[in-house]
Amino acid sequence: MDFLGLKTLTLIKDTVKIVKAKHDILLDPDSFPLDDDKTYELFQRGETVGVFQYESPGMQKHLKDLKPTVFDDLIAMNALYRPGPMEYIPSFVRRKHGDEDIEYDLPAMEEYLKETYGITVYQEQVMLLSQKLADFTKGEADVLRKAMGKKQIAVLDKMKPKFIEQASAKGHDAKKLEKMRKDWEAFASYAFNKSHSTCYAWIAYQTAYLKAHYPAEYMAAVLSNNMNDIKQVTFFMEECKRMKLPVLGPDVNESYYKFSVNKDNAVRFGMGAIKGVGHGAVMTIVENRKKEGHYKSIFDLAKRIDLRAANKKAFENLALAGGFDCFEDTHRAQYFQKEGGDLTFLEKAIKYGAKHQENENSSQVSLFGAASDIQIAEPLVPPCETWGTMEKLAQEREVVGVYISGHPLDDFRTEMKSFCTGTIAYFNDLNPHVNKEITFGGVVTDVQHRVSKQGKGWAMFTIEDYTDTFEFRIFGEEYLKHRHFLMKNNFVHVKTFVREGWVNRDTGKKSDPRLQFNSFQLLHDVMDKYVRKLSIQLNIKELESNKIRNLKELIAMHPGSHLLDFVVYDNREQIKLEMPSRKQKIKVSQELLSELEEQQVYYKLN
């Protein structure tokens, strides 16, 4: 027995739980219909991130080409997507779509190879064909499978004449039998058994079905099951963004320990993902909320929950992660403000809650026998400035490991997409980029200016983008020329050149490739420097007066110095008409481009 994919089974179980809690529907994954159009459409689009065994970029590409329509296609793809059989995938795809003839070496083979379009994919097919063509017993067929899979040459040499002889006696062409035998031997070294592939495909189908029908619930379960791996959380948050699924930060009035789905169908961060907020703290917050309803303020929360389970650190990290943002009369900076004393406002709120609970527990009784109702005044919320976006995001990252309410680079998505040739991830291995220029953008998250023993300045600095973070070093002339850009929280656009490493004269060994920093500039200035013209692309079929009016209003709102032109095209007639705007000039900005994307207007930057 082979017990694999246990994490995926947990993922399916967690999704079923979330669907039950949210919709009161009890799903039975074992009874999902195998002809569900929505699920196959998801596979056909290659949108399989988070789908067991089918999520690699290569597999996604082949799924888009194959456009699976039946469960057998998924079983075959699982078996074919491995070193060796991968070379058969293009032929498999062409045969499915009728672009290549389906051929069988012998007509008798059609019975067992029809489902895989004439291509031998599974070990079972070899076993069944050896029985049908050469009258092998089931035991002999299994010995053949084992010998082929384990490359037992002596056993194969012994079985070869028997296979040719017995199959020839049944009237099959000896030349074709010899060709088949060679094909099988080459195939057997990677052959997959169908039963194994079917189990994998069935688990994958269940996950894809859930993703297609309950996307928010499924992605919440995926995030919960990767909660301890920050890189995976970041990766799956990007997938949520692609799916247009909002991922909201933790909230004491909505979150649970794990990720969940709120009433607006948004994925809500789990409080268990916050450092320093233990299971006990989350449980007391959730249980009290279930019993007595939503918390009205930080004071209401401090009064009601078990303060032995939720300590000061838990409160502070919840505040930093945005867990108290639901209390509209206070913002994050206020919780850490000290006014008239050494205590922060958050510490005063905790003290207030503890005092209130102490009073309730002592249940003092007056001389006249009635319970005394001592009112404790709530501390005043201190006025102070709100934190800037960078500080807010940096604090979130500190306590959760990822940016939640946005990414520092979100305002520069266009610059990153249009004017960068590489990402930070490239710098983890520079060998493929030797003698090439890498232009990238990012935010400087750490800088250390140093002086060498010779009195020369140099620096270590860390830049982060959407893919990764990397620590760079810069020396000599390059440092003197670019050091004014090396400031924490600067958004920079950097041009580098990758040079070959030095060769050690004594050992002949080559060092790692070296980086040459050619230019630095602020990401804010990139659009003005590189964009000359905005070209708006309009499909003649989609030209409606309403769309034109909206476009006209939008352009009027963004006057500037960039050239503007329109390209009207008709794909059917293969006609393209370019119409430059003589009078109107425009200011190309992230805001304008986001508006164009929202109105589903295609554009090019030149």
Q: How does DSSP assign 552-593, residue by residue? A: HHHHHT-EEEEEEEEEEEETTTTEEEEEE-SS--E---HHHH
Residues 426 and 566 in one domain: no
Residues 6+ apart with CB under 8 A from 237: 223, 247, 402
Is pLDDT at 370 greater than 60 in this prediction?
A: no
357 and 436 in a single domain? The answer is no
pTM above 0.85, yes or no: no
Structure tokens at 62: 């082949």
Calculate the alpha carbon distances from 250 to 52, 325, 405, 506, 553 in Å.
27, 9, 10, 58, 38
Q: Tokens for 202, please give them.
A: 């069935």
Burial 298-320 (b: 16+ CB within 10 A, else e): bbbbbbbbebeebeeebbbbbbb
Residue type, 300: D
| pLDDT beyond 70 at 5 | no
Q: Choose the final residue of a domain: 471, 504, 528.
A: 528
Answer with the one of 342, 366, 400 that is the final residue of a domain: 400
CA-based nearest residue to 122, from 201, 195, 193? 193
Are both 340 and 419 inside the same structural domain? no
Q: Is the pLDDT of residue 371 over 60?
A: no
Are the CB atoms for 93 and 86 separated by under 8 Å? Answer: no
Q: Which of 450, 453, 458, 500 is nearest to 476 (CA)?
A: 458
pLDDT at 366: 45
Q: What is the pLDDT of residue 367?
A: 47
Question: Both 375 and 465 in a single domain?
Answer: no
Map tokens 């058969």 to a residue: 88
Calculate the dihedral angle through the C-alpha atoms of 241, 396, 258, 311, rounding to the nearest 10 degrees.
Answer: -170
Token pair in block for residue 218? 């499924």
Same domain, 198 and 257: no
**Do residue 288 and residue 377 come from a single domain?**
yes
159 lies in the same domain as 73: yes
Residues 46 and 170 grouped into a single domain: yes
Residues 186 and 307 in one domain: no
pLDDT at 374 over 70: no
Q: Which domain holds residue 256?
A: 246-400
Match 């945005």 to its residue by tokens.
322
Mean pLDDT of the chain: 89
Residue 189 lies in a domain: yes
Tokens of 278: 């233990």
pLDDT above 90: residue 163: no
Spatial contact of 187 and 79, defined as CB atoms under 8 Å apart: no
pLDDT per residue as tens digits for the range 593-603: 888 888 888 88
* C-alpha span between 507 and 503 (Å, rounded): 8
The residue ranking higher by pLDDT, 75 or 579, is 75
The count of domains in the chain is 4
> What is the DSSP secondary-structure string of 274-313?
STT--HHHHHHHHHHHHHH----SHHHHHHHS-TTTS-HH
Which of 206, 225, 254 finishes a domain?
Answer: 206
C-alpha to C-alpha distance for 17 and 437, rounded to whole angstroms: 50
Q: To which residue do tokens 């019975």 refer?
A: 111
- Average pLDDT (570-598) is 83
**Would residue 226 count as lying in a domain?**
no
* Residue 212 covered by a domain: no
pLDDT digits (tens, 9 = 90+) for 384-433: 999 988 889 989 999 998 888 888 898 898 899 889 999 999 999 999 99
- Quote the percentage of the chain above a pLDDT of 70: 96
Residue 477 reports pLDDT greater than 60: yes
φ/ψ of residue 503, rounded to 5: -105, 125
- What does the angle CA 193 – CA 196 – CA 201 come to, to the nearest 5 degrees? 120
User: Does residue 491 lie within any of the structural domains?
Assistant: yes
- Tell me which residue has tokens 């993703």: 211
Confidence band of 282 (pLDDT split at 50, 70, 90): very high
Residues 269 and 318 in one domain: yes
